[in-house]
Amino acid sequence: MRAALTLSDEVLKYTTVLVVAILVFVFTSPIVVLWERNFNVEASSLSLLVESLVLSITTSLSSSLLIFVFSVPAAFYLATLRCLSRKLVETIVMIPVILSPSATGSLILLFFARNPLGSVLDRILGVLNDPKGVIIAQFVIGYPVAVSFYTALFSSIPRVYEEVALEAGLSRLEYLYRVLLPMTKSQVFSGLVLVYARVFADFGASLVVGGGIRGKTWTFPIYIYMTTQYGDIATLSLALTLYLLVTLALLYTLYTVREAVSSPVQR
């Protein structure tokens, strides 16, 4: 019996090592290509790369902050519901998670292009084919992620904290912003990092709503796609390397925050 368990452990270990090794080779391929090309990248391509990276960073930051502002109270409200209305609201909110990003972007496009209310908003705000449209697309994509994460977080907090706060004279909103959020700040920040990573990676919705205009609404994922289709391999490899560095930075931040949390409620 012990020999069988040892053999199973060895199989699991070497299978895991094999998969991890393959992933390492895949993820380091751009660096190998850059090394072979002596890191030679055209100046014009580099300029557009930087512009798209800066656009992705700024739009993702804007949409993440908007998502945080609107998702936290919604999640707090949903965490207190225990009825059919919660399932209904969650179903509507989670639709973009099930739909493909391009389909979600097409729905947003139809709203602003054909819906009377959306057309008025587009004339006022100038959403379509504009970075503001990219922010809205990212908001719709990332909002369900934030609501789901924060609802689960707030639901895990014992209700006794809220009861004590209410007995002390605080309103439910005061409890949320003065007690609950400070008490769970590490977990809340972790959720914000996850949301930022999700909206930064969006391609389909941002392309459809933003129009994919070169030098204007080319986010970093769109730039990588376009470079894959029409650019040179050195530029593509540099873009992928930068993308991997951004990903590693986000993962490092997320793991650092998680390690700082010793329990569901930060002491």
Residue linked to tokens 């439910």: 172
Cα gap 140→121, rounded to integer Å: 16
Strands (E), 14-127: none
**pLDDT value at position 255?**
85
Can you say how many angstroms the Cα of residue 37 is from the centroid of all Cα atoms in its chain? 33
For residue 137, name the pLDDT band (cuts at 50, 70, 90): very high
Residue 179 falls within a domain, yes or no?
yes
Q: Which structural domain range is residue 47 located in?
A: 37-260
**pLDDT value at position 7?**
61
| 32's tokens | 């190998």
- pLDDT 10s digits, 185-205: 889 999 999 999 999 999 999
Structural domains of the chain, count = 1
| 266's tokens | 């930060």
**pLDDT value at position 263?**
47
CATH code, domain carrying 62:
1.10.3720.10
**pLDDT value at position 266?**
44
* Three-state helix/strand/coil letters over 60-83: HHHHHHHHHHHHHHHHHHHHHCCC
Residue 158 falls within a domain, yes or no?
yes
Question: Where is pLDDT greater, at 88 or 139?
Answer: 139
Residues ≥6 apart with Cβ < 8 Å to 155: 79
Q: Which of 151, 148, 153 is nearest to 97 (CA)?
A: 148
Q: What is the residue-wise DSSP string for 171-191?
A: -HHHHIIIIIHHHTHHHHHHH
pTM of the model: 0.88
Residue 203 falls within a domain, yes or no?
yes
CA gyration radius, the chain: 22
| Residue 83 pLDDT greater than 70, yes or no | no
For residue 10, name the pLDDT band (cuts at 50, 70, 90): confident
Phi, psi of 249, deg, nearest 5? -65, -40
Residue 208 falls within a domain, yes or no?
yes
| Residue 265 pLDDT greater than 50, yes or no | no
**pLDDT value at position 43?**
72
